[in-house]
Amino acid sequence: MANSNPIKKSEPDSYPEFEIAAEHSSKELSISTETTLDKEGWNLDIIHSLVVKGKSLNPPGGDLDQIELGTCEDLDGKKMRLVSTLSRIKDTGSNPPPGASYTLTFFVDGEELESYTVKAGGTLDRLFTKIQITIK
């Protein structure tokens, strides 16, 4: 499998293929995020829009914790669009706002499949993950 990092800082027009090995086709696919700030004294606010197979999953704010998307075979050929909005609110820190490290991890039946990280630096960042899941 040679998936490239699907997390983008600006929204792609298309949904590139995201390959998952056929051996996982009956397994449940889930995703998690982990976000850390590189400076203390700042608060982080994260919200997500997550749409899979044309349906909003409405996950809670904060980092995603193994959000189930469905079995891989049900997701074959389907689109996933995740938009995570990261805001930094100053507490006791000083400007400029800290950079953020954002990691998106895919799991099959709870076991880590692939993990991708991007660094974002700004007051407010939007990170886009648009993929078309493909079983190969």
Are 107 and 116 in contact by the 8 Å Cβ rule? The answer is: no
- Shortest Å, Cβ 39 to other proteins: 7
- In the complex with other proteins, the residue whose CB is nearer, 51 or 135, is 51
Category of 77 on φ-ψ map: left (φ > 0), alpha (ψ -120 to 50) or beta? left
Which spans of this chain sit near other proteins (rule: CB under 8 A)? 11, 15, 33-47, 49-56, 58-63, 65, 78-79, 81, 83, 85-95, 97, 123-124, 126
- Shortest Å, Cβ 44 to other proteins: 5
- In the complex with other proteins, the residue whose CB is nearer, 23 or 46, is 46
